[in-house]
Amino acid sequence: HGLMLLSVGIYAVWKADELKFSLPVMYEGRYILLMMGLFAVYCGFLYNDFFSIGLTIFESRWTQPAISPETKPGSVVAMQPKFDHENRGGPGPYPFGLDPAWHGAQNELVYLNSMKMKLAVVLGVAQMLV
């Protein structure tokens, strides 16, 4: 749905001179349509990433350490960060959405539910302030 709204917004901005006299209401709201389309696509990506099966768009920022032959199946393995967690100018955390390393983690459900609740509050307050 967001992609259709975005395409209508792009068309309205692209053909603004033609719409000025034929569809004046669409002419006046062309930038609103464009921004609504952009944010609808963005929210669609977020919704897919947090509430569905996420897309692995970027490489994970976590690595799994080498597992020794003595490691038993089902034992807990601590992942090592590949990003600059001390903020010294290296690569940052995962750029968009949820890092795919969380899928299958022992505390995935607890972490995701906590993050969803906090994200809902932040987005709700931001929406009310606009």
Beta bridge pairs of residue 81:
62
Model confidence over 49-102: pLDDT tens digits?
A: 666 666 777 787 777 777 777 777 777 777 777 777 676 777 777 777 777 777
Task: Report residue 124 as tokens.
Answer: 């709700």
Task: Report residue 36 as tokens.
Answer: 């609504």
Predicted model pTM: 0.56
